[in-house]
Amino acid sequence: MALIISHADALPLNERSERRLSKVARLKVICQAAILAIAFTATGRAEGAGGVTKQEVQAKLTYCEICHGVSAQGFHGYFPIPRLAGQQPEYLKNQLQAFIERRRINTIMFNVGHVLSPAMIAGLTASLNELNPKPLGGAPKEIVDTGRKIFQDGIADASVPPCATCHGPEAKGNGQFPRLAGQLYDYIFNKLTNWDKERGQDPNKPDLSKVMEPITHGLRPQQIKAVAAYLSYLE
């Protein structure tokens, strides 16, 4: 029977030893590379919030910008689409939940919201909060001063408190109270004039939107326009 000798076996002893050592070294390098790859993958997922990668969050953010405009600055269309940039994450989460539970009626946002995982909602709302594009503006500037006064002081004879009490002196919101700074003029006007037809639609599940109902009834259309104009220019 012929003896099968490999090329490595035919080498001198010291050369064979060097070959074996080089194989061990290569295996160590491969193992170290694999460990690093796993570590980087885990880090990427952790940074994206609870198993959602940054790339997945960015892809969803890009999808949102189709309707909500570049950097989520809002979009002036046949129906104004709101600015989401800089918005409070807690408020955004609450509104997505309201769409899902039909407490706030919008078929498009129901379809968008009910497929989002909690991890994706957390990552997406955090990313939107970090955006800070310039406001689109475009509102009548001659009524801005009137809007500023209403926002800061309220209207005592109509039992309308200062908007700044809840939304902050710079209208940047806080927690459940939304940011209004830079919001589209026509969007704010439409929402405030139709508040009870769109918010708090399930009386068995009242939420923070109820706070605004008596305030919207206390404001006349011209006063709403003034407040909306003032807010639309705030950065």
DSSP 8-state symbol, 210: G
Q: Is the pLDDT of residue 95 over 70?
A: yes
Q: Among 79, 110, 133, which residue terminates a domain?
A: 133
For residue range 4-29, what is the model confidence (pLDDT) as tens digits?
A: 333 443 444 444 444 444 444 443 43
Rounded to the nearest 10 degrees, what angle do helices 221-233 and 144-153 cross at? Answer: 100
For residue 112, the enclosing domain spans 50-133
Q: Among 109, 133, 157, which residue terminates a domain?
A: 133
Sign of the CA dihedral running 180, 183, 188, 191: negative
Alpha-carbon gap, residue 213 to 195, rounded angstroms: 7
- The verdict on 165 and 153 lying in the same domain is yes
Which pTM value belongs to this model?
0.77
Alpha-carbon gap, residue 183 to 82, rounded angstroms: 7
Both tokens of 85, joined, read 């940039």
- The verdict on 144 and 129 lying in the same domain is no
**pLDDT given for residue 162 in this prediction:** 98
> Is residue 228, in this structure, part of any structural domain at all?
yes
E strands, 118-213, are: none
Both tokens of 29, joined, read 């390098």
**Structure-model confidence comparison of residues 109 and 8, the more confident one:** 109
> Is residue 32, in this structure, part of any structural domain at all?
no
Q: Among 78, 108, 133, which residue terminates a domain?
A: 133
